[in-house]
A and B are shown apart, each in its own frame.
Chain A
Amino acid sequence: MTERRTLQTEQISGHPGPVPGMGMQRNLEVCKLIDATTCIGCKACEVACVEWNDLPFQPTTFDNTYQTMPETNWNYWNLIKFREHQREDGTLMWLMRKDQCMHCADPGCLAACPADGAIVKYANGIVDFHQENCIGCEFCVSGCPFNIPKFNPATKKVYKCTLCSDRVGQGLEPACIKACPTGCLHFGTKEDMKMLAETRAKQLRDVSGFKDAGVYDPESIGGTHVIYVLHDAKNPELYSGLPKDPSIPFAYKAWKSIFKPLGLIGATLGFVGVVFHYVFEGPKREQPEVPPPKPEPPAGRKEL
């Protein structure tokens, strides 16, 4: 596959030994910038995603919202979430957030994934699922602070946005970016996007009166490679539950990387123990049953 050739791998899930070729060359860290303040929820990005990734049609049902479906799905990786929010001054906001994989610098899915090579983080920041290695355990689902990986019951694999790693590997921007008619989506290096986002946030603060406008790039997971400009960066939860301080469950960090291996060593002590026991103490053999004592021989009688 092309992207494997052109994208430098940085982290691989469940992989023995060091990541092959890590650190050989430095790819630029890429980033998608979503300006939630100019998104009009037109869903052109949703269509572009479905078309580029050849995702099969899925019947949907009306669910009291403009949102195409409640959450992203295994065959729907890019979903604009609509949330109505009434501000303190009584004015209404209709917050639209393009939901997709955030491509975390410290990906919870990858941490949780036990399968070798099923989740890969490239040096450019893209976190990609390789379904051929996926074992369908769905731990990534619980490891993700953004509820992104989705299970396909038919193939028993998990899928999510790849940030169009195939396109990025070819030097292109993701499909959603090129589709955006209002230009609220941008793609470039993390540095550039961060700067662009900050400039826009400043404009929002200075000109548009959103005093809490800011950039969402949560530090708690080392930042993400999809960042948002929000009207109210202090309350990202308003945007259909964007977590303020996303975190990876203890289970997949300290437990999985430290305590679990220690535990395994502990368990194998049982084996060591029994070996030692056998060697130093030896087996406990069955004792032949002694027949009931015979009547006492006459005193002084010598047996020998």
Chain B
Amino acid sequence: MATSVGRMQEKEPQFFAKLGHTTVHEGELARHSVYTRFLHWAYGIFFFLALFTGFATYMPFLFRWFAPAFGGPATTRMLHPWFGLGFVFFFGLQAINWWGPMKWTDTDSRWIKHLPEFLRSTQALEPEDVGMYNGGQKLQFWEIVVGSIVYLITGIVMWAGARTFGATSVAISYILHDISALIMLFGIFFHLYQATFGQPGTIQAMTRGTVSEAWAWTHAPAWFRQMTGRDPRQALEQERQRRIARERAIEQLARGGPAGPPGGGRA
């Protein structure tokens, strides 16, 4: 069963639509267009290139072993700002692309308040009002937006150097660039984790563009509802209740007494 692409909130340039397509199998939902995926991997690659060249260049006492891969320290240094620009460029496009879906809502604020509970996985499902992206994802998105702007400005200052912007600007930029990088680095661990081990099935959204319906209603219930019109939550609840009841019944059966919820029920 295929779902209409048009219902996705992402717009896709004609070029990319022609370039590739997204096959949605039975039990799957289309999540990301080819364009989105392309952008993601583009800035993803640039991010890591910039990250590694950055490591090699700016903390060589730990990471100078990165440099040979880029043709030595000097080339590494030379490439880094270009990688950075690549990252900012593609991420910039993505930001335009995602500007809508990433809008911050009350739901997201609520989500953030309950973050510790989500981390501890006390619930199997996202809250029912979580849409295409949850608060965490949005937070990371906006962090990257802000971070990219910081990168861009401070990077250019350092790139042009003290000759153009003066020693003080460079020194300040140096710190801000570092801070930006450290925060983003911190965040990226979660991103990678959540995309892979943390929430199995996620990465498929950026590879094939689809997610399973199960994934969708687990991790983005509102979106799932929007996409399918179904709301399996009640059914799940009932099922859950049913199972609980059933287990109790079995327990009672094992004890030899009548099974049923406290205070009455089927017995």
Contacts and interface: CB of A to CB of B under 8 A. Distances in A.
Interface of A: 14-16, 114-116, 133-139, 141-144, 147, 151, 156-157, 249-252, 255-256, 260, 263-264, 266-271, 273-274, 277-278, 281-293, 299-300, 303-304
Choose among A249, A250, A278 the residue with the greatest number of B CB atoms under 10 Å from its CB. A249
Nearest to A140: B162
Given A135-B74, A255-B175, A286-B201, A270 B217 contact: no
Nearest to A291: B235
Nearest to B249: A304
Contacts of A304: 250, 253
B154 to A, nearest CB: 11
Interface in B147-164: 158, 161-163
Contacts of A288: 214
19 contacts: A14-B64, A116-B73, A135-B57, A139-B174, A142-B174, A157-B74, A251-B170, A251-B175, A264-B59, A270-B188, A270-B189, A277-B198, A283-B197, A283-B198, A285-B201, A287-B124, A289-B230, A291-B235, A304-B253
A270 B186 contact: yes
B178 to A, nearest CB: 6
A151 B163 contact: yes
B246 A15 contact: no
Given A14-B60, A16-B64, A267-B182, A141 B172 contact: no
Contact of B61 (A14, A141, A286, A290): A14
Nearest to B61: A16
A136 B189 CA distance: 31
A141 B171 contact: no
Nearest to B120: A281
Nearest to B239: A290
Interface string B34-57: 000000000000000000000001
Instruction: Decide if the interface of chain A is mainly helix, strand, loop or mixed.
Output: loop
A114 B57 contact: yes
Interface of B: 57-62, 64, 73-74, 76-78, 119-121, 124-125, 158, 161-163, 166-168, 170-172, 174-175, 178-179, 182-183, 185-190, 192-193, 197-201, 212-215, 217-219, 230, 232, 234-236, 238-239, 242, 246, 250, 253, 266
Contacts of B74: 134-136, 156-157
A288 B188 CA distance: 28
Contacts of B232: 289-292
Given A14-B60, A286-B219, A288-B214, A270 B185 contact: yes
B53 to A, nearest CB: 10
Contacts of A286: 199-201, 212, 214-215, 218-219
Instruction: Decide if the interface of chain B is mainly helix, strand, loop or mixed.
Output: helix
A124 B203 CA distance: 58
Contacts of A282: 121
A135 B74 CA distance: 4
B57 to A, nearest CB: 6
Contact of B193 (A260, A277, A285, A303): A277
Choose among B57, B73, B77, B234 the residue with the greatest number of A CB atoms under 10 Å from its CB. B73
Given A14-B64, A250-B175, A252-B171, 20 more contacts: A114-B58, A135-B76, A138-B162, A139-B170, A251-B171, A266-B182, A267-B185, A270-B186, A273-B190, A274-B198, A277-B198, A278-B198, A281-B120, A283-B197, A284-B121, A286-B200, A286-B201, A287-B124, A289-B214, A292-B234
B163 A138 contact: yes
Contacts of A300: 266
Choose among A139, A256, A271, A289 the residue with the greatest number of B CB atoms under 10 Å from its CB. A289
B161 A138 contact: yes
Contacts of A260: 59, 178
Given A255-B175, A270-B188, A293-B238, A116 B214 contact: no
Contacts of A142: 161-162, 166-168, 170-171, 174
A286 B217 CA distance: 8
